[in-house]
Structure 1
Amino acid sequence: MDELTGVQALERLHPDLPMTAGHVLRREFEYLRHGTLSWFFNFDVVTGQVIEPSWGPTRNEEDCLAHLQRLITSDPAATKWHILVDNLNTHQSESLVRWIAEREGIEQETLGTKGKSGILLSMATRAAFLHNPTHTIVFSYTPKHASWMNQVEIWLSILVRKLLKRGNFRTLDDLKQQILAFVAYYNRTMAHPFKWIYQGLTVDV
């Protein structure tokens, strides 16, 4: 799971000039801004599909929790979830800990107080609780400065290159519909698991 925030609905003021012999497509630089949307995306590493995206004007703790709740309820038959995220504070929030504790039958009183004691003491203690492998929902965190290790980042770069970078969006709803249409098209025609091929460096000493 990862977020793509501040996605702008930019409407080009003039039509593109089409490709001709010896010339690439040319685009006028002027545009109108119609606002932004923040998105949450989930990439299923087994199927290569993007599932249950959500969007809204903000990306805060409440938005993150609502998105994850929507994701989990999308498959009631699933008995175990493994969710890979980066170290953003909303991925280790008090509300997320309280939700997981409620699902696991853990008394809220045992969680402590945010910033003072117990599981809620710090981001590190909250992350350790959320990473507990005995839970039905287990969060794993990419190393700091290595969020690229989350495969959804690869998919986000595809979305940017194939749609957002050259898109023309007349309204926020137009932006939303074009992104959802791209997700559906990608899932139907291009989705496949990403296979890491980089083997690392070997150094002779």
Structure 2
Amino acid sequence: MEKYKVTLSAEERAQLDAIVSKGSHQSQKVLNALILLNCDISVDQPRRPCEEVAQVLHVSTRKVERVKKRFVEEGLDVALNKQPAERKYEYKVDGDLEAQLIAMSCGAPPEGHARWSLRLLARRVVELEYVDQISYETVRRAPKKNELKPWAKDGWVIPPQGNAEFVAAMENVLDVYRRPYDAAHPVVCMDETPRQLIRQTRDSVPAAPGRPAREDYEYERCGVCNVFMANEPLAGRRITKVTERKTRVDWAHFLQDIAGSYPDAQRITLVMDNLNTHSAASLYEAFEPEQAKALWDRFEFVYTPKHGSWLNMAEIELNVMVGQCLNRRIDSIETVRTEVAAWQIRRDNLKAKIDWQFTTADARIKLRRLYPTIGS
């Protein structure tokens, strides 16, 4: 039994005949008119089922049913033009509830939860009797409207505010970066990163059209290694070394490698973070006093402030190296050394430089909150 039956008046049928006979209407409007004319039961003609009408007009049966439904429930104009009557929605999230949702989203989550979720917020406002019931999809509008993502968290280096030692060290580094290129006094940045050595326990499935490569979640840990990185941003060159550990002696020997790479330089300015291994004392633990003092005299040490590692341009090179070379499972330190050396050669051949744009003048404006407030 048909749920919706089309019964056209003489006036409505004349209007539909006019639409069908004239070619000045949109194709969908003409199609809807044909559906209504063929489904009309008010005329003396055999009744055509929806399946037959759909087959003749090359449309789906659901399309025929939708047009009939619109005609029965909302009238001829809506059936022809697909313009439903204006709907009035009752919004459950008014200004007060939206303010409560924003406040909760920015606050601490309940005990036992790492962060707020939409479902958790929905349950919470019901528990607090702000509303009788509400769906998490309705709750979604408030954070989205205010560009809040309570479930997201970014790792960030947060510098101390109003710290004179921080800004002094920062401005010192920024002044060093303003120096022009000088082969006799190169500016070199240095950093290191630990890497896990990981072995596959099962063979990976290679990529195929329409399917990404697949790697089993199971792996075997084979220890760790350390990658030293030194780069001269203005010259587009870098020095790398892969070691088993990251001790004072390892750092001292890497410093010796840097000095050996600049045999004609009078003094090398070395920008690095202030780790306990990054000191002149490490040289005396690795070399005889005469050799340690001679090596120390080759360098000018410039330290980035604590929580200011973003000032070290060697971090940029390390991130590039990890993303291009080491972002995969490697199970031996020998392979790491081979891959890092190949990456360094290619990177040096490209003469990839770093165009540092952030200056002391920029810092005094954009990072004004970090500077101490001077009393009047």
Query: TM above 0.5, one fold?
Result: yes
Larger Rg: 2
Q: Which runs of 5+ in 1 are unaligned?
A: 105-129
Q: Deviations over 1:178-205 (max 9, x none)?
A: 121111122223x4221134555388xx
Q: 2:293 aligns with which of 102, 121, 140?
A: 102
In structure 1, the residue matched to 2:249 is 62
Letter in 2 for 1:76: P
Q: Read off the aligned partner of 2:237 and give its amino acid letter.
A: Q
Query: Aligned match of 2:311 in 149, 161, 164?
Result: 149
Q: Distance in 2 between matches of 1:66 and 1:11?
A: 29
Query: Which residue of structure 2 aligns with residue 196 of structure 1?
Result: 356
Structure with higher strand content: 1
Aligned residues: 169
Question: For the structure 1 residues 171 and 92, does the alpha-carbon distance in structure 2 shift closer, same or farther, using more than 3 Å as the test?
Answer: closer
For residues 101-180 of structure 1, what are the structure 2 equivalents within 5 Å? 102-103=293-294, 136-165=298-327, 167-180=328-341
Distance in 2, matches of 1:10 and 1:33, equals 5
1:48 to 225, 232, 236: 236
TM-score (norm 2): 0.41
3-state DSSP of counterpart to 1:91: coil
Alpha-carbon spacing, 1:138–1:93, altered in 2? closer, same or farther (3 Å):
closer
1:3 paired residue number: 192
Tell me what 1:116 maps to: none
SS of residue matched to 2:252: helix
Whether contact under 8 Å (2:251, 2:282) holds in the other structure is: no
How many Å separate the matches in 2 of 1:41 and 1:202?
28
Whole-angstrom distance in 2 between the partners of 1:172 and 1:55:
8
TM-score, length basis structure 1: 0.71
User: Structure 1 CA distance, aligned partners of 2:299 and 2:335?
Assistant: 34
1:161-180 CA-partner distances (Å, limit 9, x unpaired): 12222x24242211221121
Query: 8 Å contact 1:9–1:33 — kept in the other structure?
Result: yes
Instruction: Flag the 1:95–1:196 CA change in 2: closer, same or farther, 3 A.
Output: closer
Q: Tell me which of the two structures has the higher relative contact order, counting C-alpha pairs closer than 8 angstroms and 6 or more residues apart.
A: 1
Counterpart of 1:157 in structure 2: which amino acid?
N
- Give the alignment's Cα RMSD to 1 decimal: 2.6
Q: Which residue of 2 aligns with 1:184?
A: 345
How far the C-alpha of 1:141 sits from its partner, in A, is 0.5
Identical pairs, percent: 25
Uncovered stretches (5+) of structure 2, i.e. residues with no partner: 1-189, 369-376
- Given the superposition, is the C-alpha separation of residues 38 and 99 from structure 1 closer, same or farther in structure 2, using an over 3 Å criterion? farther
Partner of 2:214: 26
Match of 1:107 in 2: none
More helix per residue: 2
